[in-house]
Amino acid sequence: MNNVVQIRNVSRSYVLGGQQVNALKNITLDIEDGVFIAIAGPSGSGKSTLLNLIGCIDTPTSGQILINGQDVSGKTPDELASLRARTIGFIFQTFNLLPVLSAYENVEYPLLQLPEIGKEERDRRVRYFLEIVGLGQKMTHRPNQLSGGQRQRVAIARALAVQPAIVLADEPTANLDRKTGDAILELMREINRTMKTTFIFSTHDKRVMSMADRLVRIEDGELTALGVQKAPGEWAYVKPPKTASLQAAAS
């Protein structure tokens, strides 16, 4: 399997009020194409920072990140925006839909940024992905006319519409009740299996972690464990070596 994400000795620090916060400390990690991987850790451990770096929303203080084999460190902001628009879909815990747009228009929105996709193909994709998430009958509804679970389904359709290699989801079920959250995770998992899209999601919920086939544990900005779920409930863990690879745990 190819590694869709390669992270090499990545650190990210912030300076806030004259104090340096080391949010990520020398992280090395490969993520294989097609996995359903959870980034787990307590609040403030660095999960969102790591997702933002993989999503090219933020850049490392030091180290190197490759997305689909492309080194993102030397890229201009325009090049990064282009890579992001075509390669990465985002799902947020607060859904982040545009309130004045319908479900259809929200899913269409990222496609309007891609001039190579014509009107017909755009329409086909919007309808196709809204059907996949079970909202074929709600295309004209605005976010405030939808339930939380339905809003997150729109966000999933929007993330998938560009047919990205990677979907990044920052605590995608945090604002949903348990039953709805489970249904959203099942849906993401099903899409991961059928479309082979890599899903990378953060969580601090044990039940959400149990749905993953790979687990990266972060504590205080450091990788502390890498896990592979070999059979339901059966995890194999490795302590991350300096050049960690999930393939080591998988083999």
Ligand X SMILES: Nc1ncnc2c1ncn2[C@@H]1O[C@H](COP(=O)(O)OP(=O)(O)OP(=O)(O)O)[C@@H](O)[C@H]1O
- Is residue 19 part of the contact set for ligand X (CB under 6 A)? no
44: contact with ligand X by CB under 6 A:
yes
By CB under 6 A, is residue 94 in contact with ligand X? no
- Looking at the chain, which runs of residues are DSSP E strands? 3-16, 19-32, 36-40, 62-67, 70-71, 88-92, 166-170, 198-203, 214-219, 222-231, 234-238
Q: Please calculate the CA angle 39-133-204 and round it to the nearest 5 degrees.
A: 20
From 41-49, 97-105, 115-123, 136-144, span contacting ligand X (CB under 6 A):
41-49
The answer to whether the beta carbons of residues 30 and 6 sit under 8 Å apart is yes
Least Å from the CB of residue 21 to ligand X: 5
Composition of the chain by helix, strand, coil, percent to 5: 35, 30, 35
Report, in Å, the least distance between residue 28 CB and ligand X.
Answer: 18
Q: Is residue 46 close enough to count as binding ligand X by CB under 6 A?
A: yes
Strands 62-67 and 70-71: antiparallel
Q: Does 231 bind ligand X (CB under 6 A)?
A: no
Q: How far is the CB of 132 from ligand X (least distance, A)?
A: 28
Which stretch, 47-55, 144-152, 179-187, 188-196, contacts ligand X (CB under 6 A)?
47-55
Residues forming the site for ligand X (CB under 6 A): 14, 16, 21, 23, 41, 43-49, 204
